[in-house]
Structure 1
Amino acid sequence: MATIPASFTPRTILVIKLRHHGDMLLTTPVINALRQRYPDASIDVLLYQETSPMLQAHPAIRHLHRIDRKWKKLGAWQQLKHELALVNAIRRSRYDLVINLADQWRSALITLISGAQERIGFAYNKRDNAFWRLCHNQLVAATSFNQLHTVEQNLLALSPLGIPTNHVPVSMHYAHQEWLATEQLLLQRGVNGPYVVIQPTSRWVFKCWDDEKMAALIDRLNQPDLKIVLTAAPDAKEMAMIEHILSLCRNPQVTTIAGQLSLTQLAALIDHARLFIGVDSAPMHMAAALQTPCVALFGPTKLQHWRPWGENNRVIWAGDYGPLPAPDSIDTQTERRYLSAIPVDDVVAAARSYLDA
């Protein structure tokens, strides 16, 4: 494949990533690096509708093209209409450069249909065929992915452009009114001073610590001038977990606003916190992006790929205390909690290292 000349200066750029909330946040270093290299370019992103709050306030992004996964429930004709409208919108944008960070056939086809002069993707082993090569005129080797953080994997896509990628931050943005709304909710809960945010929950139970240990941590952090604010998604299982943890707590400084915040309001909450404590989840990545001190509890997930990105955090890995199964062998629907081996004392010590600094 021909290399991209150094003189290439795109006016319009599309970045494609079709994954979960945390994945979307970890694309922001690519967006930030593109903005630095091409300050006058318009940068758009194609993503799933439900993940758009992660990027909707990013100042470098002009427009979000959204794929709603509910389209398929509308029937074949309605889904086709939405898909064609999306393709037409992308064609009308006349992109000079498309960077496909995804591995789906759908993302590759959209990359091709865009008509962009330069179309960058990854040379995945599972996509080693003529159609994938047709869709991209620049393919970047993915052979080093196992050794790289997800941020570093994404940034590799910029190598054909010769863009420097050292020390590019992950970033999370929200509107000021999101903080004002969150602040009012905190005041209603009696939180008018310093606070710690704890998100014990995940969409996958196997990523969670024991409720009893989480309650013990909350009790050990009891001090008169520090509130503990619990958060969670408005999912029935997550809300039940929060209620159970609260029932075990004796710390009078703990409160909950679980299930009551939008993702951008949660970002505002985390941004103003003294400390974030949580498990491997999107809010943990948000804390790292917002440079809020973060204590992250990990189990049998790929730590190299998903640890919080940045310097202001501490990872406590269950694998340091006992054997863990291989991440790819996990039944994600299991109720087993693989973080059980993590002792309360070590999490308390990590939290105190930030709170007492």
Structure 2
Amino acid sequence: MNILIIGPSWVGDMVMSHSLYQTLKQGYPDANIDVLAPEWCKPLLARMPEVRQGLSMPIGHGSLALSERYGIGKSLRHRYDMAIVLPNSLKSALIPLFARIPLRRGWKGESRYLLLNDLRTNKRDYPMMVQRYTALGYERGHIPDAQNLPIPKPYLNTQAAQIAQTKQLFAAQLAAAEQRPAIGFCPGAEFGPAKRWPHYHYAELARRLIDIGYSIRLFGSAKDQACGEQIRQALSDAQQPYCLNLAGQTTLNQAVDLIADCHAVVSNDSGLMHIAAALDRPLVALYGPTSPQYTPPLSDKAEIIRLIEGDLIKIRTSSDSKEGYHQSLIDINPEKVLDKLSILLTEA
């Protein structure tokens, strides 16, 4: 059986989708699984052995581009027996229809009744995103309920030689701290500062870790570079050589290798948090307005800190501080994070 997955467009969602690919391989051991997703996803997909290949999705997130979707669908005809559509939008279901894939499976969303012929309507029975992804790996009538649904943990393959090669590319930056075990910080957040632990808390945690012999690696995209500099510049001149701002300097593939090389990671709720979990790194995950009930890190080595209860609060910038940080994250003090991190490091 050949299966086409219409993949998600966000890092964390792509990592969580690996639970589906593992489930499909358990149910269809001889299946070939291809994933149609943005070009940047390919390094992640290449680290998932259940995926045969990643196919580049050239249409940007949110764009209809009907004629382009038709052209992509036409090029995929006669190649697949089943398609599984992970995004909930109507437009995401068009390519499998245009490709004339016989079985087209997905959750109800945006009036997709005519586009999907294996439409699942009980999404609310599966409160976690990874449950919703995984449930799509089962045939209708054979889906375990949420309490009994096996969730294979996402993982990303790494190789020691590749990690060493990546470290060599950053040898100049890593040189001063090479003899110290590294702790990764992921201080960015895609949807604004309300999801971020304050930079001054990260800086205080960095001070304490550096003073006891660790180095710090700051990860993120180019737009997180300024946040990383805020953290680094808050340190003393003597401490700064042991805090490396790699935000915006690495490819996603290189970031995966350098996170895999860290002894532990501290992260906001973000895509890099899910990468750290999939790399089986000891992880302290910091939540505020977002809820770990929906998208927790899928790892036995993760400690979640959230001081408020309830579901997702849809907010990008908070009025609780001039920087836009949410009070629930401001209230997580560095001592609490260090305590959790110390336990994880001791166990590791």
The alignment's TM-score, normalised by the length of structure 2, stands at: 0.85
How far apart in 2 are the matches of 1:33 and 1:344? 39
Do residues 108 (structure 1) and 88 (structure 2) align?
no
CA deviation digits over 1:161-182, x for unaligned, max 9?
Answer: 6478514111224566642332
- Unaligned 5+ segments in structure 1 are 1-10
Amino acid at match of 2:331: A
Do residues 336 (structure 1) and 324 (structure 2) align?
yes
What is the 5 A alignment of 1:1-357?
11-69=1-59, 82-93=68-79, 95-124=80-109, 126-127=110-111, 132-144=112-124, 148-160=127-139, 162=142, 165-173=149-157, 178-188=162-172, 189-190=174-175, 191-193=177-179, 194-203=181-190, 204-223=192-211, 225-235=213-223, 238-250=224-236, 251=239, 253-319=242-308, 327-331=312-316, 335-338=323-326, 339-357=329-347
| Alpha-carbon shift at residue 149 of structure 1 (Å) | 1.8
How far apart in 1 are the matches of 2:299 and 2:21? 17
Paired residue secondary structure (1:168): coil
Change (3 A) 1:332 1:49: farther
**Percent of residue pairs bearing the same amino acid type:** 26
| Alpha-carbon shift at residue 80 of structure 1 (Å) | 6.6
Question: Would the aligned equivalents of 1:18 and 1:102 in 2 still touch at CA under 8 Å?
Answer: yes
Question: Would the aligned equivalents of 1:47 and 1:64 in 2 still touch at CA under 8 Å?
Answer: yes
Paired residue secondary structure (2:3): strand
Question: Would the aligned equivalents of 1:318 and 1:340 in 2 still touch at CA under 8 Å?
Answer: no
Change (3 A) 1:71 1:276: closer
CA deviation digits over 1:162-221, x for unaligned, max 9?
Answer: 478514111224566642332114532224342111111223221111121111111111
How far apart in 2 are the matches of 1:35 and 1:163? 16
How far apart in 2 are the matches of 1:113 and 1:173? 34
Paired residue secondary structure (1:134): coil
| Alpha-carbon shift at residue 327 of structure 1 (Å) | 3.3
Aligned length: 330
| Alpha-carbon shift at residue 117 of structure 1 (Å) | 2.7
| Alpha-carbon shift at residue 159 of structure 1 (Å) | 3.0
The alignment's TM-score, normalised by the length of structure 1, stands at: 0.83
How large is the Cα RMSD of the aligned pairs?
2.7
- Unaligned 5+ segments in structure 2 are none
Paired residue secondary structure (1:15): strand
How far apart in 2 are the matches of 1:304 and 1:353? 23
